[in-house]
Structure 1
Amino acid sequence: MKTIGLIGGMSWESSIEYYRIINETTKEKLGGLHSAKSLMLTVDFAEIEKLQHENKWDEAAQILIRCAQDLERGGADFIVLCTNTMHKLADQIIANINIPFLHIADATAKKIVSANIKRIGLLGTRFTMEHDFYKGRLIDSFGLDVVIPKESDRGIVHRVIYDELVQGKVLASSREEYKRIIKDLIAQGAEGIILGCTEIELLVKDGDSSVPLFPTTLIHAVSAVEEALGD
Structure 2
Amino acid sequence: MRKLGLIGGLSWTSTARYYEIINQAVHRALGGQHSAPLLIESLDFAEVARCATQEDWDCAAGQLIASAGRLQQAGAQSLLICANSMHRVYDQVQAQVDIPIIHIADVVGGRLKADGVEKAALIGTRNVMTEKFYRQRLVSHGVSLLPADMELAERIDRIVYDELTVGKVTKQSERFMKSELTDIAKQDVQAAVLACTELELIVDVKANVLPIYDCTHIHARAGVDFILG
| TM-score, reference length from structure 1 | 0.96
Deviation at 1:155, TM superposition (A): 1.2
Query: Does the Cα contact within 8 Å between 2:120 and 2:145 map onto a contact in 1?
Result: yes
CA RMSD of aligned residues (A): 1.2
- Secondary structure of the corresponding residue to residue 6 of structure 1: strand
Report the equivalent of 2:106: 106
Instruction: Say if 2:180 is the partner of 1:181.
Output: yes
Matched letter for residue 19 of structure 2: Y
Cα distance in 2 for partners of 1:35, 1:69 equals 24
Query: Does the Cα contact within 8 Å between 2:26 and 2:36 map onto a contact in 1?
Result: yes
- Secondary structure of the corresponding residue to residue 116 of structure 1: coil
- Which residues in structure 2 correspond to 1:107-146 (within 5 Å)? 107-139=107-139, 141-146=140-145
Structure 1, 34-43 or 110-119: larger mean CA deviation: 110-119
Deviation at 1:196, TM superposition (A): 0.4
Deviation at 1:71, TM superposition (A): 0.4
- Secondary structure of the corresponding residue to residue 142 of structure 1: coil
Query: Does the Cα contact within 8 Å between 1:149 and 1:185 map onto a contact in 2?
Result: no
Count of matched residue pairs: 229
Q: Cα deviations across residues 9-58 of structure 1 (Å, max 9, x unaligned)?
A: 01101101111111110011111111111100011001111111100000
- Which residues in structure 2 correspond to 1:1-231 (within 5 Å)? 1-139=1-139, 141-230=140-229
Query: Does the Cα contact within 8 Å between 2:174 and 2:203 map onto a contact in 1?
Result: yes
- Secondary structure of the corresponding residue to residue 188 of structure 2: coil
Structure 1, 148-157 or 166-175: larger mean CA deviation: 148-157
Cα distance in 1 for partners of 2:148, 2:57 equals 24
Query: Does the Cα contact within 8 Å between 1:21 and 1:221 map onto a contact in 2?
Result: yes
Q: Cα deviations across residues 66-123 of structure 1 (Å, max 9, x unaligned)?
A: 1001000000000111110000010001100001111111111111112211111111
Deviation at 1:199, TM superposition (A): 0.3
Query: Does the Cα contact within 8 Å between 2:181 and 2:210 map onto a contact in 1?
Result: no
Q: Percent identity among equivalent residues? A: 38
- Which structure 2 residue ranges, 5 or more long, are not aligned? none
After TM superposition, which residue ranges in structure 1, 4 or more long, deviate above 6 angstroms?
none
Matched letter for residue 144 of structure 2: D
